[in-house]
Amino acid sequence: NAGVTQTPKFRVLKTGQSMTLLCAQDMNHEYMYWYRQDPGMGLRLIHYSVGEGTTAKGEVPDGYNVSRLKKQNFLLGLESAAPSQTSVYFCASSYHQGGNYGYTFGSGTRLTVV
Partner 1 sequence: KQEVTQIPAALSVPEGENLVLNCSFTDSAIYNLQWFRQDPGKGLTSLLLIQSSQREQTSGRLNASLDKSSGRSTLYIAASQPGDSATYLCAAETSGSRLTFGEGTQLTVNP
- The residues that touch partner 1, with contacts defined as CB under 8 A, are 4, 31, 33, 35, 40-45, 48, 50, 56, 58-59, 90, 92, 94, 96, 99, 101-108
Residue 18's Cα: distance from chain center in Å?
Answer: 15
* Minimum distance from residue 16 beta carbon to partner 1 (Å): 28
* Minimum distance from residue 7 beta carbon to partner 1 (Å): 14
List, in sequence order, the alpha helices (H) in 12-89. Answer: none
Q: Report the residue number, 5 or 67, with the smaller CB distance to partner 1.
A: 5
Closest CA to 74 of 113, 16, 35, 17: 35
* Minimum distance from residue 37 beta carbon to partner 1 (Å): 9
DSSP 64: E
